[in-house]
Amino acid sequence: MAERAQALGANAVVGVDLDYETGGQGGSMLMGSVSGTAVVVE
């Protein structure tokens, strides 16, 4: 996420949200996603 934000010209990421869910037999699989907003802090 930090690398992508930097590529966009940002120097910070705010509002980071982490979501995850277990699945598979017995909860043996973990799926996750992370999102945030790239910003320029002066």
What is the C-alpha end-to-end distance of the chain, expressed in Å? 20
**Total structural domains within the chain:** 1
What residues make up the domain containing 10?
Answer: 2-39
Q: Are 27 and 21 in contact (CB under 8 A)?
A: no
Q: Look up residue 13 and give its two tokens.
A: 């990421």
Distance, CA of 28 to CA of 17 (rounded, Å): 23
Alpha helices of 1-42 — where are they, by DSSP H? 2-7
Does the global pTM surpass 0.75? no
Model confidence pLDDT, tens digit, residues 1-42 = 999 999 999 999 999 999 999 998 888 999 999 999 999 999
